[in-house]
Structure 1
């Protein structure tokens, strides 16, 4: 089994999306040693799509933003091509959650399904949330476009879409773990192979600065900030204590590395 990450580009986000909930804390002293000295400057997190090949399957975890979200993202097709692959080679497309930078690349420029030969996988709770008729009216004005876009894309791939439950082994050696908070049905995936274990964490840990240095602090990008912090704490502790390889969608240097304990929190040590 081979695991690599492919770049879909990066996002450009207002800093207060992440930092606003913790503005009353000693934030700068925490993030300045990690390279963030201006708490008002836009953040430009990378977008790392995970690719696994095992000889029988070619599996993508999330599929990037596609052409309709941000100009700095939507680069997955070029990254696939650099690996000698096209969308038709993908056998399984597995979603951590249905936010635009993870799901919207499922359709091409003509709003047609991109991965025609792939089985598409999503957690049942995540699918049910984004396809529920009342989600668009209850999610909040700043996320309404997320709800509309997710429902439209999930409808477009409905015939190829399979759901799974928490704890289920969806493919050989790949087990789903519900990691709620960022979205109501966000899922991480434990990948076991040859005595090694990796965890594809999506946005359960959404950056490699404040989310690790202070995992208990609320994150503005989480839909449920309290549950998100509880999930994040459990996850970082397990990654560090069990020496599990972390594969993060928005972590730096390709997003593959180890989570290590520090004197007062955690840090990400990328494998570069």
Structure 2
């Protein structure tokens, strides 16, 4: 293990703390490729932000079926780790230390698996919202994964690195724009940009899922003979997004486009029965989509 300021502080803190949770869950292992979902903790969001203008009475009835009540939602955050031969690939890097105290736990999960930050060969971003990007830098402003190559969809990169974005994005998201621009500037020539449909790494192909952000991407990953879709935030939760995917969400930057994307993706996944990993879905986020009349249901692996 490489000794850095981060590993020194982590090991020092660990000597004073009692382990609390299991952050890492092994999910799939096939054909010499291993996929793990790692908990970065969870978010705490106002229900009104997540549900936007959805009819609250009906939304509350749906939430109640899943044991959810109150005025906040606490979605899980699942980072995907893919190991295949000499490549160790992270899909998103979590929230890091500066977003929410309930999130930013990715380093604990990697430590449970015995994965050092220097082991990460590639980081692939679904999009540049804080809970997916701000873990790019550690407490000292250094790259958390210093030996990695970084990959992002061209449209997403262009949007968040455009100096006009901070003045054109809605006021409530200006901090997202400032945070994304400052962190992405640290990547320099490490960044590899790709477009929809490109297989930019062996066995990993980009699938445009625009709407949540202007250039949001999902990724189709080959795990042995089976494809798995890493959907990021194109399907935001396991309740309303499945039962009423046409409802507009306040979490999406272009809500009408995101709803169209969500419906199309849910239909595709239900028809193909391809496994998926959702960043904010429960039980590690791995499962399948089941069609039920005019709605859908998330079925977690092992459920």
- What TM-score, normalized by structure 1, do the two folds share? 0.97
Structure 1 residue corresponding to 2:271, chosen from 235, 241, 263: 241
Q: Which aligned segments of 4 or more residues in structure 1 are displaced greater than 4 angstroms? A: none
1:4 aligns with 2:36: yes
Deviation at 1:216, TM superposition (A): 1.1
1:90 aligns with 2:120: yes
Q: 1:196 maps to which residue?
A: 226
Question: Residue 232 of structure 1 aligns to a residue in which SS?
Answer: helix
Question: Residue 207 of structure 2 aligns to a residue in which SS?
Answer: strand
Question: Residue 247 of structure 2 aligns to a residue in which SS?
Answer: coil
**Which structure has the larger Rg over C-alpha atoms?**
2
1:84, 1:26 → 2: CA distance? 45
The 10-residue stretch of structure 1 (50-59 or 26-35) with the greater mean CA deviation from structure 2 = 26-35
1:151 aligns with 2:181: yes
User: What does 1:202-241 correspond to in 2, within 5 Å?
Assistant: 202-241=232-271
1:46, 1:231 → 2: CA distance? 22
1:222, 1:51 → 2: CA distance? 25
Deviation at 1:25, TM superposition (A): 6.6
User: What does 1:158-177 correspond to in 2, within 5 Å?
Assistant: 158-177=188-207
What's the C-alpha RMSD, in Å, of the aligned pairs?
1.1
1:269, 1:142 → 2: CA distance? 34
Q: Deviations over 1:80-116 (max 9, x none)?
A: 0111111100000000000000000010101111111
Q: Deviations over 1:109-129 (max 9, x none)?
A: 011111111000000000000
Q: 1:123 maps to which residue?
A: 153
Q: 1:113 maps to which residue?
A: 143
Deviation at 1:24, TM superposition (A): 6.0
Q: Which runs of 5+ in 1 are unaligned?
A: none
The answer to whether the Cα contact below 8 Å between 2:52 and 2:248 also exists between their aligned partners in 1 is no
- What TM-score, normalized by structure 2, do the two folds share? 0.87
1:186 aligns with 2:207: no
1:65, 1:33 → 2: CA distance? 29
Structure 2 residue corresponding to 1:132, chosen from 142, 155, 162: 162
Q: Which runs of 5+ in 2 are unaligned?
A: 1-32
Q: 2:280 maps to which residue?
A: 250
Q: 1:270 maps to which residue?
A: 300
